[in-house]
Amino acid sequence: MMVRRFLFVLGILMATGIAAYRADQRVLPRLEPASTPHRVGTYHVHTESSHDSHTELDQLTATAHDLGLDFIVVTDHNTQLAGPVVVNGVVVLSHAELTTPFGHLVQLGATQLLEEEERRGLDILRKVRELGGVPIAAHPADPKRPWTGPVDGLGGFEIASVSASARRRGGPIFAGLLPALFAFRLNRELAFAQILDRSDAALRRWDAEYDPSVVGMCGVDSHGRILPTGLELRGWHTVIDAPLPESPEQLPAALIDAISRGRFHCVAGLFARDPEFEFRASWGGETVGVPGDTVTALAVDALVARSPRSTIDTATVVLLRNGEEVSRTQGGRLHYRHPTPGTYRVEVRLPVPGVVWGYRVLPVIYSNRIRVVEDLDDAAGGPPARIFPLGRTYPSLAIPEDEEPPAAEAPAAEPPGVSDPSETPESGQPKLETPGGGGASETVAPKPAPAEPSPVEAAPPGDTRAAPEPAPAAPAAEAPDPEASTSEPEAGSEPP
Ligand SMILES: [Zn+2]
Ligand SMILES: [Zn+2]
């Protein structure tokens, strides 16, 4: 018995020694910085206003400032500041992470707090929309607290979450993170990188929603309890791809607007603050669509992605269509000609060294999505099927007739292919004027929630992949059926 215990302790000591020695030798790859800098922030941060965090806002913003962050999205549990503030030169957007019977939901952009009793109903997403918010499912595939609520009307999913990945990587008692613990004193970044992973489950849920205005967020879920805040805030950066106003009064609303429309990409901040990256739809070299947009196949001759060079020169750019890989290239530029209809996104993957040996290839950049459709009537039909987690089926919401959002001009009224070319960072692009003065994805929140979600089917994920984009019988373009137009709720929110 004694011998066994001795060997166990000896083994631990040797493992610690080897891990510590190796951790000192191993370095993380770095990505080249963007030639045109973006505004960079970080999403899903807690302060002392949350019961499980002690981080003071002043300290948090000072740390964010030191990291060169322009904004932070504070998501305290069931509480938020009365409005945006600027502290230590950092814009603080404060929007509550609501505790609901279905999991955690961030009411991004909402200016009031959703009442406690209103958090319990299946119409919670519509309630958040009514407050001007965009409901974002927090850590939707977290083993401990997944999102099990309605999906129809969600504005986005957290496709990456540091806390959820720590739980997956560590296992029930976090034993899987022991090597990282050993390495922490010698190489903090290497240790922290061990927590990151790719959440196939969260990505599958996102990929099943073809509407590109359903955004993919990356949350750090910083609580400042175990890891230093400065490290936590580098878990994931939110890099804004839209032009933003300089005025501090206008900036907060513009940031929320850009995020809620998918005009951003996620970057694992350990590898770069703001690396060179772009993803766009092009026609003859001109940009005709950016993430968040729906474009027609006729208007696009290629999807273009540019990845940053890395210090180890093995960054891989992967293009996915409806969640399935369709093309990849090692470094540089990816040019995918004549994309068929589908919802496209990009991952940039890097080999991330382990503490002692080996590498894991992980996405360190996630784009948001560009949807290519046969014609814009298809887009009005919405995603073909809704997947509810855990095999649970939710009933349709019964909502009185008079609460239905008013029918409005359909997005088909705009010229083919272009949602909003003027939004791209490249200035000097000709703006294609639409008759209504705005494209389908032009409109800011509040998006009206679907009046009555289509009957829910707990379809297995494979079903939606196998039958992409069946276009439901499209109603007359002038008066879209509100029940069928849930994928383009913005169409109903702006008068022509
Ligand atoms: Zn949470
Ligand atoms: Zn949280």
Q: What is the DSSP string of 95-158?
A: --EEEETTEEEEEET-SSPPPGGGGSSTTHHHHHHHTT-EEEESSTT-SSS---S--TT--EEE
Q: What is the pLDDT of residues 177-195, one digit of tens each?
A: 888 888 888 899 999 999 9
Q: Looking at residue 413, what is its pLDDT?
A: 35
CA of 153 to the centre of ligand 2 (A): 21
Mean local confidence (pLDDT), 46-70: 95
Q: What is the CATH number of the domain that holds 55?
A: 3.20.20.140
Q: How far is CA 237 from CA 68, 72, 146, 274, 290, in A?
A: 11, 9, 22, 8, 19
Q: Looking at residue 92, what is its pLDDT?
A: 96
CA atoms within 13 A of residue 220's CA, in its CB half-sphere: 33
In contact, 32 and 230? CB cutoff 8 Å: no
Residue 347 lies in a domain: yes
CA of 128 to the centre of ligand 2 (A): 18
Q: How many Cβ atoms from other residues are within 10 Å of residue 18's Cβ?
A: 15
CA of 474 to the centre of ligand 1 (A): 38
Q: What is the pLDDT of residues 250-260, one digit of tens each?
A: 999 999 999 99
CA of 158 to the centre of ligand 1 (A): 10
Residue 496 lies in a domain: no
CA of 260 to the centre of ligand 1 (A): 19
Residue 496 has pLDDT above 90, yes or no: no
Higher pLDDT pick, 345 / 438: 345
Residue 108 lies in a domain: yes
CA of 299 to the centre of ligand 2 (A): 41
d(CA 148, CA 122): 11
Residue 248 lies in a domain: yes
Nearest Cα residue to 470 out of 387, 374, 384: 384
Residue 19 lies in a domain: no
Q: Looking at residue 244, what is its pLDDT?
A: 94
Q: Looking at residue 140, what is its pLDDT?
A: 94
Ligand nearest the Cα of residue 95 is 2
Confidence of residue 24 (pLDDT cuts 50, 70, 90): low
CA of 46 to the centre of ligand 1 (A): 10
Phi/psi at 144 (nearest 5 deg)? -85, -45
Ligand nearest the Cα of residue 142 is 1
Mean local confidence (pLDDT), 77-86: 94
CA of 97 to the centre of ligand 2 (A): 6
d(CA 194, CA 191): 5
CA of 72 to the centre of ligand 2 (A): 13
Ligand nearest the Cα of residue 140 is 1
Residue 415 has pLDDT above 60, yes or no: no
Q: Looking at residue 177, what is its pLDDT?
A: 86
Residue 265 lies in a domain: yes
Residue 268 lies in a domain: yes
CA of 359 to the centre of ligand 1 (A): 29
Q: Looking at residue 394, what is its pLDDT?
A: 30
Mean local confidence (pLDDT), 304-322: 91
CA of 323 to the centre of ligand 2 (A): 26
Confidence of residue 463 (pLDDT cuts 50, 70, 90): very low
Q: What is the pLDDT of residues 194-214, one digit of tens each?
A: 999 999 999 999 999 999 999
Q: Looking at residue 113, what is its pLDDT?
A: 95
CA of 165 to the centre of ligand 1 (A): 13
Range of the domain at 73: 26-379
CA of 147 to the centre of ligand 1 (A): 10
| pTM of the shown model | 0.75
For residue 326, what are its two tokens?
């369709």
CA of 386 to the centre of ligand 1 (A): 23
CA of 258 to the centre of ligand 1 (A): 23
CA of 75 to the centre of ligand 2 (A): 6
- The 3-state DSSP class for residue 18 equals helix
Q: What is the pLDDT of residues 389-412, one digit of tens each?
A: 322 333 322 233 333 333 333 333
For the chain, the domain total comes to 1
Q: What is the pLDDT of residues 29-45, one digit of tens each?
A: 999 999 999 999 999 99
Ligand nearest the Cα of residue 76 is 2
In contact, 60 and 229? CB cutoff 8 Å: yes
CA of 358 to the centre of ligand 1 (A): 32
CA of 139 to the centre of ligand 1 (A): 7
Nearest Cα residue to 256 out of 473, 152, 107: 107
Query: Token pair 């607290």 is at which residue?
Result: 145
Residue 6 lies in a domain: no
Mean local confidence (pLDDT), 300-317: 90
Q: Looking at residue 20, what is its pLDDT?
A: 58
Q: Looking at residue 22, what is its pLDDT?
A: 64
